Amino acid sequence: MAITLVPAPRAAPPPLVPKAVRGWRERLSPYAYIAPFFVLFAVFGLFPLAFTFYVALFDWNPIGDRVFIGADNFTRMFADPRFWNAARNTVSIWFLSTVPQLLLALVLAHVLNHARLRFALFFRMSVLIPYVTSVAATAIVFAQLFDRDYGMLNWVLGLVGVAPVDFVQSAVGSHVLIATMVVWRWFGYTTLLYLASLQAVPLAVYEAAAIDGAGPWQRFRHITVPSLRPVIIFTVVTSTIGGLQIFTEPLLIATGAPLTCGAVRQCQTLTLFLYEQGFGEFEFGYGSAVGVALFVVVVVIAAINYLLSTRIRADR
């Protein structure tokens, strides 16, 4: 490659051809190259988002009736026990899926980072297999494995004398079941993200620690975990945003009452509640209010993430 003694300017590179030589087509072509993204995002991303805020102010029936009701949907939502139930379920499932996933990924990334590990590619590929499996297929298989009467898990529990657990019908059980599916699908991906970060840590750091007498646990505790702090925060934030959108797993495990995820809404998440209101009850306005609430939560989380990551950079 070309070597220059003068450092390249930080700003935009100079035009590769003098402007006078370039025709109007050439001057406009960059906009044509980026236009598809901006048009698609405006039509299918930004506009619907803004429109959610608008629809949320109406009593809006898809058949055509709409009445402006101001903030009524929001006051109704804050007084709706179903909303708070869905919020609690979402937080519970998020917590149960994020904490084990993070710990598992930390440990696996640490051991996969070993230079002399045999079959490293095989292990890396194996943990990524769940990621290419669809949520729908995952939900069906895990619902079967966790089944009260025919599930393999309950059979194993029975061997050690535990009475069959009805995972789907109980709140805690269904949350554990959904969290298990989330962890299964995502822990390998998270592991590889952590591994990518770990490979940037110089070996000298580990060697120096070993010379100073640090054992494997101390190296994990004092080198691996601190150097992964930014990517850990990143994955906590993405798993939180993903957790707010959990939909398919609860829809598919409770076959009798899918839109509420069970008779007493024991595993209905916020996105499922949004769907139930919008497409089950045809209350577009109320459903959009739930969408607005979710959006606000996501923005707050993103802001916290931004503050945390600037803090981390400042700490260095």
Partner 1 sequence: MTTATARRRPHGRVRWWTYLLLSAATVACLFPLYWMFVVATSDTATATRMPPAVVPGDNFFHLVGLVLDTVPFVRALLNSLFVATAIGAGQAVLCALAGFAFAKLSFPGRNTLFLVVVLTMTVPTQLSIIPQYMIMSTLGWVDTLQALVVPGLASAFGIFWMRQHITATISDELVQAATIDGANSWQVFWRIAFPIVRPAAFVLGLFGFVTAWNDFLWPFIVLKTPERYTAQIAIKALQNSYDVDLGLAMSGSFLATAPLVVLFVLVGRRMVAGILDGAFKG
CA distance 267 to 281: 19
Least distance in angstroms from the C-beta of 235 to partner 1:
9
Shortest Cβ 298–partner 1 spacing (Å) = 5
For 276-281, the CB contacts below 8 A with 24+ separation are none
Q: Which helix (DSSP H) or strand (DSSP E) does residue 58 occupy?
A: strand 58-60
The CA-to-CA distance between both ends of the chain, in Å, stands at 34
What one-character DSSP code corresponds to residue 201? S
**Shortest Cβ 14–partner 1 spacing (Å):** 7
Q: Which residue has the tokens 């209905």?
A: 268
- Residue 105's SS3 state is helix
User: What is the b/e burial string over 190-228, where b = at least 16 CB atoms within 10 angstroms of the residue's CB?
Assistant: bbbbbbebbeeeeeeebeeeeeeebeeeebeeebbeebb
Q: Cβ of residue 291: shortest distance to partner 1, in angstroms?
A: 5
Write out the two tokens for 295.
């959006």
Q: Which amino acid, one-letter code, is at 292?
A: V
**Cα gap 62→185, rounded to integer Å:** 35
Cβ nearer to partner 1, comparing 27 with 222: 27
Stated as kind and residue range, the H or E segment containing 68 is strand 66-68
Residue with smaller CB distance to partner 1, 129 or 162: 129
Q: Answer for the pair 31, 253: CB distance below 8 angstroms, yes or no.
A: no
Smallest gap, in angstroms, from Cβ of residue 170 to partner 1?
21
CB of 258 to partner 1, least distance (A): 9
What's the closest the beta carbon of residue 224 comes to partner 1, in angstroms?
9
DSSP string spanning 221-281? Answer: IIIIHHHTHHHHHHHHHHHHHHHTT--HHHHHH-SSSTTTTSTT-TT--HHHHHHIIIIIS
CB of 111 to partner 1, least distance (A): 5
